[in-house]
Structure 1
Amino acid sequence: MPEFDLDAYLARIGYDGPRTVCGETLAALQLAHATHIPFENLDVLLGQRIALDSESLQAKLVTARRGGYCFEQNTLLLHALESLGFTVTRLLARVRYRSVTLRPRTHLLLRVELEGTVWLVDVGFGSEGLLQPLPLVEGQPQTHGDWHYRLLREGTTWVLQSISNTGWKDLYAFTDELSYGIDVEVASHYTSTHPDTIFKKVLTVQLPGLTQRTYLRNHELVTETATSTTTQPLTEPELLPLLTERFGLSLPEEVIHRLWITCG
């Protein structure tokens, strides 16, 4: 397996700070990754295979400066953290966001053990996801910029919540059972190929920030702050400059057209 190019990854996320194995480094890396590499499902909509090996992830998300969904994002971060010396394991979650139905375990997150504390680390949940590590402790709300999160317990299950205008809402639920690479491969294959998954139906590109979240949803651009949400309808000619200027994604015009009609 080719060696992970840590320098290239750190340059991609705009991080030039310390590389020591400590909480400050972990928090800074998560924030830098989450705010520099967009969450996007363009390859899924285009019918492209989603490869999760280290070389493919570096080629796509680092060298080509693309984004990806949770399996790509968090696997890339896992390789980076392991290269630095962090102790990391994979967990799989059931998404509850905007749904009351029971879903399969199709969200990848990371568990980091550090300095006597277990941390939830996740750069793959899109615009409403965490921006910094969250200690695996029940009922201790944390603020990441203007956004608020907490963990609750339901028996042996952890539930990650964020706050909205109507109160706390569930994002996803998971247990402490570790997952292996093959589990992640199976979950990713289902998520990227099954016709009923949302990633096969909705074009989305998302990028969070400490005070503002921006996301493309089919033919609309949504901008969200802690107190307001604005929605802007888009035309096809606006899509290419939007992807380039807002999200840093460069794609050929013919690909943009295929995406536009796919999500129409």
Structure 2
Amino acid sequence: MERLVRKLKKSGYVESWPPVERAAFILRKFAEWFPFENVDVLTGNETDVTPEFLMDKMVEKQRGGLCYEINPLLLLVLQELGFDAELGAATIKKDGQWALDRTHALVLLYMEGQHYIADGGFGNRLALSPLPLDGEAVISPAGTFRLRTRQTEKGTIAMECLNDQEEWAVQYAFDWNPTPWGKLSVMKHTIHSHPHSPFNKQLLIAQTFPDGTQSINEERQHRRWGDGREETIIFQDTASFLEAVRHDCSPALASEIEKYKTQS
């Protein structure tokens, strides 16, 4: 973790900042450095999720990952920097339906007498700041988010986002119970193999930037800016898809995607 901590400090991290400001800085840098990507799912990389695996894949090779990779790495960095942080597990709700049970990893934070969550692994729907439990909403280029005590079928705390109808919609729910590190590999196996997994069907790369969001699959690239403008580029063939990947992804990620396309 020392290497990643040094990189954060070189990027402007200041230890004297208030805890929420420091955590928000780390979340913004994680969004910049570690895209949400599922290439390992599609290529069948079944390596257990360990700190060594995360450092090799994401720091050394400059790859991204899914929630059970990005957020555990975030947890380790926060702990290294002195934060009171633990691993949590939530169940995602999409289009009114609950997804696979407790397969979303997140970080539980306790700062200055207040409970927060930190999440750098929710695709391109990132708040880019810790969310306080029953506190004020947080606005990012990806939307408006809040954390509420709310009874659901999947827990007593819900992360919510304002939808296009300006209504609060549950994105995921959980209980404030620390999750053992060993559960990460269980999450990974479920996401890799379960028929209802949303991530073992097609390639996805997603990021939240300071000015908007982006997602790429094998058919199109979609950008949405903070001012509401949107652009969708349809790939005419594999070559145009790979050209976009090389332009927007790290060399290591682009190389893995090319290998996947060669094998598929």
Distance 1:145 1:221, change over 3 A: closer
- Once the two structures are TM-superposed, the CA of residue 11 in structure 1 deviates from its matched residue by 2.5
> Unmatched 5+ residue regions in structure 2?
none
- Residue number in structure 1 paired with 2:25: 28
TM-score, normalisation: structure 1: 0.87
Aligned residues: 257
The CA distance in 1 between the partners of 2:251 and 2:37, in whole Å, is: 10
User: Contact 2:62–2:250 (CA<8 Å) still a contact in 1?
Assistant: yes
CA distances 1:42-65 after superposition (whole Å, capped 9, x unpaired): 011111124321111111101100
1:165 and 2:164 aligned: yes
- Residue number in structure 1 paired with 2:69: 72
The CA distance in 2 between the partners of 1:62 and 1:102, in whole Å, is: 29
Quote the RMSD (CA, aligned, Å): 2.5
Distance 1:216 1:9, change over 3 A: farther
Segments ≥4 residues shifted beyond 4 Å? 251-255
CA distances 1:32-90 after superposition (whole Å, capped 9, x unpaired): 11222101000111111243211111111011000000000011111111111111111
DSSP 3-state at the match of 2:12: coil
User: Contact 1:13–1:37 (CA<8 Å) still a contact in 2?
Assistant: no
Distance 1:14 1:215, change over 3 A: farther
Distance 1:12 1:192, change over 3 A: farther
1:116 and 2:117 aligned: no
TM-score, normalisation: structure 2: 0.87
- Once the two structures are TM-superposed, the CA of residue 102 in structure 1 deviates from its matched residue by 5.4
- Residue number in structure 2 paired with 1:244: 246
Which deviates more, 226-235 or 129-138? Answer: 226-235
User: Contact 1:157–1:175 (CA<8 Å) still a contact in 2?
Assistant: yes
Return the match for 2:150 from 143, 149, 154. 154
User: Contact 2:158–2:172 (CA<8 Å) still a contact in 1?
Assistant: yes
DSSP 3-state at the match of 1:96: strand
The CA distance in 1 between the partners of 2:65 and 2:9, in whole Å, is: 14
- Residue number in structure 2 paired with 1:84: 81
Among all aligned residue pairs of Structure 1 and Structure 2, give the percentage whose two residues are the same amino acid. 24
- Residue number in structure 1 paired with 2:12: 16
User: Contact 1:14–1:32 (CA<8 Å) still a contact in 2?
Assistant: no
